[in-house]
Structure 1
Amino acid sequence: MTLRVGLFGLLGSGNLGNDGSLESVLDFLEERYPDAIVDFMCMGPDKVRERYGLPAVSLHWYYGKERSGSRLATIALKTLGKGVDAVRTALWVRRHDVVIVPGMGVLEASLPLRAWGFPYALLLLCATGRIFRTRVALVVVGSNVIKKRFTRLMFTSAARLAYYRSYRDTLSKDSLRRMGVDTSRDEVYPDLVFSLPVPPSGSDSSGKVGVGVMAYYGSNDDRARAEKIHTRYLAEIKRFVRWLVDQGREVRLFTGDDVDQSVVSEILADVRSYRPDLRTDRVTAPRVSSLDDLMREMSAVETVVATRYHNVLCALKLAKPTVSLGYARKNEVLMADMGLAEFCQSADALDFDRLVEQFTALEREREKLTRTMAERNQANARELRRQFDVLSEVIS
């Protein structure tokens, strides 16, 4: 009997980290289950169909529908959509033997999130999986302790109903336990992206610096001061890029999501205003459409300073000395696991003077740090092979 596998999540939405986790699981399925029938329920079905040539349907019925000028009509349409989604999800789930949620921070609210959006969709998935005896596997996912009660209830209920759970760090496992979910049988593995192949080294990276930027407005609990957080973060990043230029360094700006392009445009405009005579190739922003593209571009720099989790992760996977300007504790945990605990700052309270000190120390310790990262990358790859062995048991 042919195995039917569904892939579910915030996939094809422009977030490179999410799609990188997906590609790790697709590689696993191609290697071990080449005859499996695979399809998607995801955020960006058009992009997924175009990129992978596989069937895909939208995660939410409401997305893409004609919007009415009336606020009341819009609310009514959205409310109707929640009922439609319950039926759509049930019909989709029952066609599968297993549904895999590949990595991602699917149990997190470290960035702004609405309870009736993805949390509701994940709960529908896990509940209908139980009803139709379809195995739902949350594979190497991220979690944090969620303060908003309704969002927390959605996520913890979904986690309890899942057939299988594993996490990308101990922080995620402990967070779910603290929210009342029994995690005693669950395991922790490195992020799925650590299983992806490393692209060939790029051109000479001597002196080049990668700066990973983000359209950052704070966490799910920071909505009231979102603009203030964004303004301070962007001002400090601009100041750091100016400092790099003054040091004679070549800078490449990296993103991890389509929404980050607005930040890139502001930084480039700021540099041109600051140094009108500067050659355009001194500060560039290569456009990338996949995590593989990102790693290829990142391989051509010597040192990285980044905010988005998967920008930081890709730099570490490439054994690039890295400073993390994180928006959640997951960045700190990742950096500590890779031997760079002292090279972290919070994006909420980014300090330029401290960043310069960290960057200088990072480059001074380059040789030692590079060796440590290479060793830990090998260990991470071994651990993920074990995760895929366990996932094969879940599927079988």
Structure 2
Amino acid sequence: MDGAGSSPRVAFFGLLGSGNLGNHGSLDAMLAFVRARHPDAEISCVCAGPEELERQYGIPSVAITWYQAHGPGRSRLDSVARKAFGKVADVVRMPRLLRRYDVVIVPGMGVFETTLELRPWGWPYALFLMSLSARLTGAKSAFVNVGANVARERSLRWLFTGAARLASYRSYRDDYSRDAMRQMGLDTSRDEVYPDLAFALPEPTPVSSGRPQRTVGLGVMAYHGTNADRARADEIYAAYTAKIVEFARWLVDAGYRIRLVTGDPSDQSVVEAVFDDLRRTRPDLVEERLIGEQAESLGELMEQLAGVDVVVASRYHNVLSALKLSKPTISISYGTKSDIVMEQMRLAEFRQPIQSLDVARLIEQFRALEARAATVVPAMRAKNAEYAESLERQYDVLSAALFGAGTGSHVAVDIEQGE
């Protein structure tokens, strides 16, 4: 900190303000921690969508990159030139920006993952530049309960491990993520694993729909595959969407109500596909059986899911929110992270890979899960209580590592001088 008794200046850094509910859920959890444990802290945000974040949270915010701050050019060539200039300008801009802060926190999120399309000189470059700038300006940087997988591209591995190596604190949301960083060459011997930050969010009050039909939360996403699938992206999206539409039609025919939930603005295209199909094929049922309200936060999404009986979801944080609420859940998984959390909740048999989704099997899994709901829910509640206790213990560690606060018997994880 700048001086004795001065208020710590804290910046949250990440792909925030872009509408991704999972990212915002992680921010919500860390905001609650800082405000509760360090109420004198001055909070800001360095993010992808500063205007939207300020609107939602009232927190002073600035863009991560020069290009985000200044916008595209009037032509494609102008935009390309601006992007190229921005990469160079950010080398100067980022240190100037981060010298305003004492602590920079990357709250959760899959920041070291390549499960979706990703280019090295976008987010990975910005992440590395943040860690380097924080080190140069004397700020403590922290990756808190983040996700990772082994990146195939050498450039991505170098940027990811470089960013992590320069940090003052690192923790991961599962053993798989920590092991992935180790396999990419990072010394993780002093890094810890804690549950995803979403498990620290408050649970909404259960609600009743007041209707006799059972309600299914159907979480959808605009899935186009990974970096390796770019040539087939449209084909992958069309195949996934068609299967979701087919399953939704089956649910309606079987007498269920459907609450469609999303996690990113891009997912709305799949919601519209489901509505369009049912308006055409089941026009007399669509208004009564289909709900498609958008949520602005992970907390709002959890409020929506509080009123459903079973959840079938694709996006990781849709699955996570359902598990947090102890809802019987099926995961249509696009990454190992979803498989891990389903295994931890003892629901491993109720999942499918997204690229080989089989609707007939999904229906079988759905029926089996409903039949076993009375036994799976108590186990989920016990695991949720365990997660909450673990996250509380981590808050003591974070306070010591980032703010110098006492923690009793807990040991701070500070690797700033260790590598």
| TM-score of the pair, normalised by structure 2 | 0.92
Match for residue 354 of structure 1? 361
Cα distance, 1:70 vs structure 2 = 4.1
Q: Which segment is superposed worse, 7-16 or 59-68?
A: 59-68
Match of 1:123 in 2: 128
The 3-state SS of whatever aligns with 1:78 is helix
Structure-2 separation of matches of 1:237 and 1:257: 17
Partner residue in 1 for 2:349:
342
Q: CA deviation at 1:155?
A: 0.9
Q: 2:370 matched to which residue of 1? A: 363
User: SS at 2:70's partner residue?
Assistant: coil
Per-residue displacement from partner, 1:76-118 (whole Å, max 9, x unpaired)?
2111111222222111211211111000001111100111111
Matched, 1:20 2:25: yes
Q: How far apart are 1:45 and its partner, in Å?
A: 0.5
Verify: 1:156 aligned to 2:161, yes or no.
yes
Q: Is 1:109 matched up with 2:114?
A: yes
Question: Is 1:34 matched up with 2:7?
Answer: no
Return the alpha-carbon distance in structure 2 between the equivalents of residues 67 and 393 of structure 1.
42
**CA distance in structure 1 between the aligned counterparts of 2:99 and 2:58, rounded to whole angstroms:** 22
Query: C-alpha displacement at 1:237, in angstroms?
Result: 0.6
1:168-194: CA deviation from partner (whole Å, max 9, x where unpaired): 011100111111111111000000010
1:280-295 maps to which residues of 2 (within 5 A)?
280-295=287-302
Q: Is residue 219–residue 327 contact of structure 1 (8 Å, CA) maintained in 2?
A: no
- For structure 2, the residue ranges without an aligned partner over 5 or more in a row are 1-5, 405-419
1:296 and 2:303 are equivalent in the alignment: yes
Residue 86 of structure 2 is aligned to residue 81 of structure 1:
yes
Q: Which moves more between the two structures, 88-97 or 170-179?
A: 88-97
1:152-173, CA deviations, whole angstroms, 9 ceiling, x for partnerless residues? Answer: 2111111111111000011100
- Which of 227, 233, 241 is 1:234 aligned to? 241
1:65 Cα deviation from its structure 2 partner: 3.4
Retained in 1: the 8 A contact 2:279–2:286? no
**Structure 2 residue identity aligned to 1:318:** L
Residue aligned with 1:243, SS: helix
Q: Shift of the alpha carbon at 1:281?
A: 2.6
- Three-state SS of the structure 1 residue aligned to 2:383 is helix
2:15 aligned to which of 1, 10, 24: 10
Q: 2:329 aligns with which of 322, 327, 334?
A: 322
Once the two structures are superposed, what CA deviation does each residue of 1:18-54 show, in whole Å capped at 9, x if it has no partner? 0000010000011111111111100110111112211
Q: Which deviates more from structure 2 when the two are superposed, residues 126-135 or residues 314-323?
A: 126-135
Q: How many angstroms apart in 2 are the aligned matches of 1:348 and 1:64?
A: 36
Partner amino acid, structure 2, of 1:339: R
| SS class of match (2:190) | coil
Amino acid at match of 2:173: R
- Residues 315/66 of structure 1: CA separation in 2 closer, same or farther (3 Å cut): closer
CA contact (8 A) 1:210 1:304 kept: yes
Q: Name the residue aligned to 2:414.
A: none
Distance 1:279 1:238 in 2: 13
Corresponding pairs, count:
396
2:55 is matched with: 50
Tell me the C-alpha RMSD between the 2 structures. Answer: 1.2
Aligned-pair CA distance for 1:69: 4.7
> Could you tell me which residue of structure 1 aligns to residue 187 of structure 2?
182
Does residue 252 of structure 1 match 2:263?
no
Query: Which AA in structure 1 matches 2:150?
Result: V
CA distance in 2, matches of 1:305, 1:279: 19
Which residue of 139, 153, 163 maps to 1:134? 139
1:200 to 205, 218, 224: 205
Q: Which residue of 1 aligns with 2:101?
A: 96
Unmatched 5+ stretches in structure 1: none
User: Aligned partners of 1:284 and 1:22: how far apart in 2?
Assistant: 27
User: Which amino acid in the other structure matches residue 384 of structure 1?
Assistant: L
Provide the C-alpha distance between the structure 1 equivalents of 2:94 and 2:21, rounded to a whole number of angstroms.
25
> 2:287 aligned with 1:266, yes or no?
no
Distance, in Å, in 2 between the alignment partners of 1:53 and 1:162 is 27
Name the TM-score, length of structure 1 as normaliser: 0.98
8 Å contact kept, 1:86–1:124 = yes
How far 1:204 sits from its partner (Å)? 3.8
Q: Percent identity?
A: 51
CA contact (8 A) 1:214 1:256 kept: yes
Indicate if the aligned counterparts of 1:202 and 1:297 stay in contact, CA closer than 8 A: no
How far apart, in 2, do the equivalents of 1:72 and 1:247 lie? Answer: 53
Contact kept, 8 Å, 2:11 with 2:43, in 1: the verdict is: yes
CA contact (8 A) 1:60 1:85 kept: yes
Distance 1:35 1:64 in 2: 29
Q: CA deviation at 1:66?
A: 5.0
Cα distance in structure 2, aligned partners of 1:315 and 1:336: 14
C-alpha distance in 1 between matches for 2:49 and 2:302: 22
Cα distance in 1 between the residues matched to 2:20 and 2:180: 24
Task: Judge which range, 189-198 or 73-82, deviates more.
Answer: 73-82
- What SS does the aligned partner of 1:39 have? strand
The 1-side partners of 2:196 and 2:299 are apart by: 15
Who is 1:276 aligned against?
A: 283
Partners of 1:30 and 1:66 lie apart in 2 by 33
- Kept in 2: contact 1:307–1:347 (CA 8 A): yes
Change (3 A) 1:42 1:66: closer
Stretches (4+) displaced over 4 A: none
**Superposition deviation, residue 287 in structure 1:** 1.4
Task: Describe the SS at the equivalent of 1:62.
Answer: helix
> Could you tell me whether the CA contact under 8 Å between 1:304 and 1:321 is conserved in 2?
yes
